[in-house]
Every structure is written in C-alpha cells, then in structure tokens.
A and B are shown apart, each in its own frame.
Chain A
Amino acid sequence: SAVISQKPSRDICQRGTSLTIQCQVDSQVTMMFWYRQQPGQSLTLIATANQGSEATYESGFVIDKFPISRPNLTFSTLTVSNMSPEDSSIYLCSVEKGETYNEQFFGPGTRLTVL
C-alpha cells in the first residue's frame, strides 16, 4: 500500500474564498487522483493528475474551479476556488501503488464546510 497524508484534515471556509488541499505520498507514484464525496454519497472522480502534464478533468469539473498542481512524484494540490456551500464535501486524494496492477489507495480526506 502507500502512506498518504492530506492537509488540512478539515476546514470551515467562507463563501467566495479558496482553499488549497495538499496530498503527500511516502514514495514516488505516477498517477494521483482527486475525488469528492458529498454527504451520504459515493465517490466522484474530479481529475487525474500525472506529474509533468496537465491534469485530466472529468465531466462536470473544470480547471478554473478546481486547479490542480503536480510538481513532483510525491505531491499534489487541489484548490477549490470561489467556494459556495455546494462545495461542502470530503475531498480525497488517491494513488496507484504497486508494480503492475492498478489498485488505488486513499488518503485520509479533507472535510470542507463552506458557510
């Protein structure tokens, strides 16, 4: 598996502001993913972040709202911009780990509340 940390673990933010979430992995990984889990719901993929290339966003998610950085093979950030109460959610990063197969392992998540 992989040891993944996220910062912050939770935050309460005001409408219209932005929050940057950090994801740190204990070893180098090629692919990192950002998910959103709204209250009582399952996980929805926001984007895939590969080091050295632009993130690939899923339908319904745009770079202006969720800019992502991937400066190296152990770190990524997701920014939630111009927040509204509808952005209140848990944000999770995950990584593919292992030599060959594509199992994904999740970080502990960031619980965001927007007032």
Chain B
Amino acid sequence: QKEVEQNSGPLSVPEGAIASLNCTYSDRGSQSFFWYRQYSGKSPELIMFIYSNGDKEDGRFTAQLNKASQYVSLLIRDSQPSDSATYLCAVNSFIIKAAGNKLTFGGGTRVLVKP
C-alpha cells in the first residue's frame, strides 16, 4: 500500500522566518509530487508541483525533491500570518495525464505563523 507521511505539527514559526515542511513516500514508482494549502473550512489549493530531482522555486515557495531518499519538502520563506494553514503533500505514479492517474495524500502539516 502506498503511503505518504507528514509530521502533523503544528509547526510554529515566527513571522518572517522560513517554514520547512517534509514529506516522505513509500512507493519508489512515484513520479510527480504536489503541495496543497488548505485553510480551515476550505478546499485544498494547489501551490506547487515538482517531478524532477532538485529545487523548484515559485515566489516565496520552494519545493525540493530527492527521489533517491524518497522525500519531498516545501520551504516557505518570509512566512506571513496568512500562510497559517494545513499543507498537504500528494504523490502520483504518473507525470502526464494518463488513465489510472490518482493522488495519494499525506495527513498534512498544520503551520502556525505568529506575528
């Protein structure tokens, strides 16, 4: 059974600091990796996806992927109180659209950014 593990938190960070979130996965066949942000009472919002080893930056967010070690991380630079949310890691066995595509989600990490 494919598993995706995240520390449930809460991860408490002061405003302006870097929040570092980690996610490990069990299936070596996983090919694409996603980070979703979910505010309380709202649906998940896609913020990053990555499928190549290394770093991918988008604004204050950086996703890091290491397939050999089977982990993916998310860095949030200059954290703001508005970043307080639950961050969900998800993995997929495919990169491109294909029959059988599906996401497996981790349990999520709750992040609290304190002013």
* Interface residues of A, Cβ cutoff 8 Å to B: 1, 30-31, 33, 41-45, 48, 50, 58, 92, 96, 98, 100-109
Do A104 and B46 touch (CB < 8 A)? yes
Q: List residues of chain A with CB within 8 A of the CB of B108.
A: 42
CB atoms of B103 and A45 under 8 A apart: yes
In-complex Cβ contact of B46 among A31, A58, A103 (8 A): A103
Measured CB to CB, the nearest residue on chain A to B45 is: A106
Complex interface residues of chain B between 64 and 115 (CB less than 8 A to chain A): 88, 92, 94-99, 101-108
- In this complex, how many residues of chain B approach chain A with their Cβ under 8 Å: the count is 26
- Contacting residues, chain B, for A102 (C-beta < 8 A): 32, 92, 94-98, 101
* Complex: chain A residue closest to B4, CB-CB: A42
Residues of A with C-beta under 8 A to B36: 106
CB proximity of A91 to chain B, nearest CB, Å: 10
A33–chain B nearest beta-carbon distance, Å: 7
Query: 6 new A-B pairs (CB below 8 Å) besides A31-B97, A109-B43?
Result: A1-B46, A98-B97, A102-B98, A102-B101, A107-B43, A108-B42
Query: Are B101 and A96 in contact, with the CB atoms below 8 A?
Result: yes
Q: Is the CB of B96 within 8 A of A100?
A: yes
Contact A101 B32 (CB under 8 A): yes
A102 to B96, alpha carbons, bound, how many Å? 5
Question: How far is the CB of A58 from the nearest CB of chain B, in Å?
Answer: 8
Residue B25 interfacial (CB < 8 Å): no
CB neighbours (8 Å) of A100 from chain B are 96-97
Q: What distance in Å separates the Cβ of B69 from its nearest Cβ neighbour in chain A?
A: 22
> How long is the Cα–Cα vector from A41 to B99 in the complex, in angstroms?
27
Contact B32 A106 (CB under 8 A): no
Q: Which residues of B contact A101 (CB under 8 A)?
A: 32, 49, 51, 95-97
Chain A contacts for B51, CB-based, 8 A: 101
Complex formed: what's the CA distance from A41 to B11 in Å?
17
Which residues of B lie under 8 Å from residue A44 when comparing CB positions? 105
